[in-house]
Amino acid sequence: MIRAKCVQARGVGQREKKQQMKRVKDIFCLFIVSLFAAGVLRPGFALAQAPYVLNAGGFDAEAAGSWPVLIAQEKGFFARDGIQPRSIRTDRAMMGLVAGSFELINGGTFAAMSAAEKGVNLVLAYVLCNRPPEYLVLRKPLTMLRELEGETIGVFQVPSTVHLLVKRHLQRSGLDLKKITFRATGGSRERLASLLAGQTAATLLSAPHAFRAQEGGLKIISSPADWEQTPWTIIAFRRPWAEANSSIAAKYLRAIQQATLWLYNPANFDDARRTLTSLSRLDDSIIRWSLKSVLDSKLYNLNKPELSDFKNLEAWLLSESLLTKPSNLASLIDTQYYDQAVKR
């Protein structure tokens, strides 16, 4: 009798324990369902967890003009605003923008203005570099600009913005351009090789190649600090995309601004140097010299795009026949995204 009662009590206890576990399980399931419902019914909650993937094109990590963009990505400035750029490093970024492969690019201002002249629907929203990131280097044993009369200068192509930059610089320095020959010798790598081989007397080089030239005993006669300010490289958006995604466009520019300010802070120099050395796969000594040079030259812009600066650039390009007709610059240059970006 006693055993039977004990067995009966134990059975009741086990049933109560199972019922208690079932209640706990039901409460847990209800909690999970509530979380899921909150995510579905509150889109903002779900969106906060998924960054906006942005297709972008631009220069590679060797190009000093692209460094604020790379720093914005590597140091989390894009991520803070919920942006995840899917970046393609290419010197044909404008073609990708025209084809719709990119929402935005960082590239040369002339390429953007030329595309606009041909009817491409884009907007110039930000000036990335406000002077050319180029160095004028002389062949041995030349040491002065006036020695270039009667010589050949290597440029990317004739005509090109690099060609016109050297041409205007020499003209303003009092040289007779009729006594100077310009020869198309390709990109910085090819131009340096031509210079070292003695095939040209001078050329413009990017920062890493200028460092190599100087290490080889060649003289740098002009650096970015010597060029007059002009909107040299820009950030351009496809207009339909920017108009439909103005907040994302503004956040992108804000990240670039913050990255630029971070670069200009001397306390971040070594961190920036290590980051850019890793990304570019260049020697630490090259990045150290190049980074210090472009920062000392105040290469990177922080100010709102000025219509007058673009008008001056357009007038120059028209006078040299690189552009064939004036553009509607008031429409092409749109500062609303910059204004949103810097708004606190």
Residue 290: the pLDDT is 97
Task: Kindly report, residue by residue over 158-199, the tens digit of the pLDDT.
Answer: 999 999 999 999 999 999 999 999 999 999 999 999 999 999
Question: 81-103: buried (b, 16+ CB within 10 Å) or exposed (e) per residue?
Answer: bebebebbbbeebbebbbeeebb
Q: What would the CATH number be for the domain defined by 53-131+230-324+332-342?
A: 3.40.190.10
- pLDDT tens-digit map of 185-234: 999 999 999 999 999 999 999 999 999 999 999 999 999 999 999 999 99
CB-CB contact of 164 with 320 (8 Å): yes
Q: What pLDDT was estimated at residue 89? A: 83
pLDDT in the model for residue 41: 43
Domain ranges of the chain: 53-131+230-324+332-342, 135-226
Query: Do 26 and 34 form a contact (C-beta atoms < 8 A)?
Result: no
Q: At what angle do helices 109-117 and 307-319 cross, to 10 degrees?
A: 80
Q: How far is CA 196 from the centre of its chain?
A: 30
Report pTM: 0.84
CA distance 261 to 334: 22
Alpha carbon distance 174, 158 (integer Å): 21
pLDDT at residue 28 in the model: 45
Candidates 3.10.129.10, 1.10.10.10, 3.40.190.10, 3.30.70.20; CATH matching 135-226: 3.40.190.10
- Give the residues of the chain that fall short of pLDDT 50: 1-7, 9, 12, 24, 27-47
CA distance 272 to 74: 10
Question: Residue 101 has what pLDDT?
Answer: 93
| Same fold yes or no, 53-131+230-324+332-342 and 135-226 | yes
Q: What is the pLDDT of residue 25?
A: 53
pLDDT of 262 = 98
